[in-house]
Amino acid sequence: MTAAIRAVPATARSMAWAPFAVASGSVAGLVVAQRPWDGQQLSLGLARLTLVLVAVGAALALDDEAAVTVACSPTSLLWRRAVRLALAVAGAAAVTVVALFAVGATGSTGGVPLDRLVVEGAGILLLAMALSTAVGGDRGAFLFAVGLLGAVVVQQRWPAWSLFPMAPGAPGWSQAGLVWGVIAAVSAGALFVISRDPCLRRRSVRSATRTNRRGLPTTSTESCEWG
């Protein structure tokens, strides 16, 4: 635990915060451009777009190029990833809270349902992070962005199948909120499972003992000596 706490400043320094900063700047720019203080209604489509951008920024911030090098450090993989995830989630949450506070303070949310948007945002963020943790930040961000954009495009033709209803109150709006809640929960669970230290996983004898082409046993790269 102490080692994990000590790892926080170092992990924060090693993370790629630039994408996150640019995404946050875009959120601010978008809110300012829509001039909510003049009574202009905020666009739900643009709000969702910025959520996706923040999620991509968070996914890229999770990219851990040194993961292999430090795989056998005394701090377990779960803690290392937990610190990285916590920092990214804290950053995204800070951006979201500030944006929501700014929008709420102007009192002109228009048709944008902020509570639903938070659920959707949590689902989007956790999905991006789970993908990023599973396949790497850069590739995860790519898969996430393509998948989500694909869903948005398909929505135009088949709205009934969509996770993104056209407007609050449209058919499918209630179900979509539920779906995003499920996505958030499943992604959080996936993040936990992916981040578990390989040493703590149950491994069958078959998978633990690997052989090369000559039939000789090989050593796993995930060493458990620091357990």
Q: What is the CA radius of gyration of the chain?
A: 20
- Cβ atoms within 10 Å, residue 36: 20
Region near another protein per CB under 8 A, out of 87-95, 123-131, 147-155, 182-190: 147-155
By beta-carbon proximity to another protein, the closer residue of 54 and 188 is 54
154 near another protein (CB under 8 A): yes
Region near another protein per CB under 8 A, out of 51-59, 70-78, 127-135, 180-188: 51-59
Separation CA 42–CA 51 (nearest Å): 14
Please count the residues of this chain forming the interface with another protein, following the rule CB under 8 A.
Answer: 37
115 near another protein (CB under 8 A): no
Region near another protein per CB under 8 A, out of 55-63, 74-82, 196-204, 205-213: 55-63
Separation CA 48–CA 92 (nearest Å): 14
Binding mask 121-140 for another protein (x = CB under 8 A): ----------------xx--
Q: Where are the alpha helices (DSSP H) in the chain?
A: 2-14, 18-33, 44-61, 77-106, 114-135, 137-157, 173-195, 205-208
Count Cα atoms within 13 angstroms, Cβ side, for 197: 18
Binding mask 16-35 for another protein (x = CB under 8 A): x-xx--xx--x---x-----
Q: Are 75 and 4 in contact (CB under 8 A)?
A: yes
Separation CA 154–CA 38 (nearest Å): 34
157 near another protein (CB under 8 A): yes
Q: Which of residues 163-202 bind another protein (CB under 8 A)?
A: 168-171, 173-174
| CA–centroid distance for 103 within its chain | 23
Q: At what angle do helices 173-195 and 77-106 cross, to 10 degrees?
A: 150
146 near another protein (CB under 8 A): yes
Binding mask 63-82 for another protein (x = CB under 8 A): x-------------------
Under the rule (CB under 8 A), what is the footprint of another protein?
16, 18-19, 22-23, 26, 30, 43, 45-46, 49-50, 52-53, 56-57, 60, 63, 137-138, 141-142, 145-146, 149-150, 153-154, 156-158, 168-171, 173-174
